[in-house]
Amino acid sequence: MKLTGIELRRVRMPLVAPFRTSFGVEHDRDILLVRAVTDEAEGWGECVAMADPLYSSEYVEAAADVLRRYLIPALAARPPADATAVGPTLHRFKGHRMAKAALETAVLDAELRAGRRSLARELGAVRDRVPAGVSVGIMDSVDELLSDVEGYLDEGYLRIKLKIQPGWDVEPVRAVRERFGDDVLLQVDANTAYTLGDVALLAALDPFGLLLIEQPLDEEDVLGHAALARQVRTPICLDESIVSARAAADAIRLGACQIVNVKPGRVGGYLEAKRIHDVCAAHGVPVWCGGMLETGIGRAANVALAALPNFTLPGDTSASGRYYRTDLTEPFVLDDGHLAVPDGFGIGVAPVPEILAEMTTSLEWLPLA
């Protein structure tokens, strides 16, 4: 495989409705796409960094900058023989996992397309479709929340995740349980909004039979999560704290989590995500695939990952229509609560040229040869 160039493309995607979490509200997505062109094929990667450094320290403008100034020149100076060499080549640059993930995924997609292999098969998928959950943002009222949850259940989603924060936690969870019953798979996501001083409040969620509480404390407070896990019955799931397979192993050993959310962008790519899956499987810790409001490009790769054997809980692999009226690719559509795993070469999808052109706000070509 010979890399000939990398394209950095920014697209702006309006959301079907504002999405509110404990760290802010999103009305649209400024998305950085990476296209890797080789002498045999081209591949796509999607950077999941947000416009502002709120979910993590990364943000889209910084991702574009580090790709342009450091990561892509590093590949030009030391061309990778295959996608497995991308990570080691970029390792000397600290952090910037979301940017690295987008670049590695684009190279991996190109390699697999040239080799006529699918990402799902390459990662070790064991299913041809995966159960889909949906993430429900913080609302202005409980009535609004119940209306949205009812709509998602009617669409067939198999699991509901409620975003929570102090002041919006026990009441909405109770309301959803009372309205829709105990059979609904329900979990909550705090996005680091609490402290260990909120143990009593978080323990008040125990009676509602939640699958898990996701990332209640600060991402660096792994010991705090271990202490919290000893004081609440609901399983603790880590998200922002898990940045690598080593971090996952350490958190499990400390008792900081019973479940892990795997987000490929957060951990540096799908190859590292596979390693996290393997570490968790070896320790008997189930995993599920988180989402970052991806377009069909990122969603296709996430669905392939979620088809691995230890992904035993429904993930945030929602249908395209959950976030976008028009996706960049052919839309992912819910079928009996599941999404089909793409079986084409590479990630199995490609942008629709007319839609991609319409959504593009900037374009930059960086030759490597």
**Which residues participate in catalysis according to the annotation?**
163, 263
Burial of 32 (0-12, 13-18, 19+ CB in 10 A): buried
CA distance 117 to 283: 30
Longest Cα–Cα distance in the chain: 62
- For the CA atoms of 139, 294, 300, 360, the dihedral, rounded to the nearest 10 degrees, stands at 140
Query: Are the C-beta atoms of residues 19 and 291 closer than 8 Å to each other?
Result: no
CA distance 106 to 112: 10
Contacts of 245 (CB under 8 A, 6+ apart): 267, 272, 275, 276, 278, 279
CA distance 186 to 178: 12
Residue 156 Ramachandran class (φ > 0 left, ψ -120 to 50 alpha, else beta): left
According to DSSP, residue 341 is labeled: P
Phi, psi (rounded to 5 degrees) for 194 = -115, 170
Contacts of 47 (CB under 8 A, 6+ apart): 31, 32, 33, 34, 60, 63, 98, 99, 101, 102, 265
Residue 300 Ramachandran class (φ > 0 left, ψ -120 to 50 alpha, else beta): alpha
Phi, psi (rounded to 5 degrees) for 237 = -115, 135
Token couple for 292? 């970052």
CA distance 43 to 7: 10
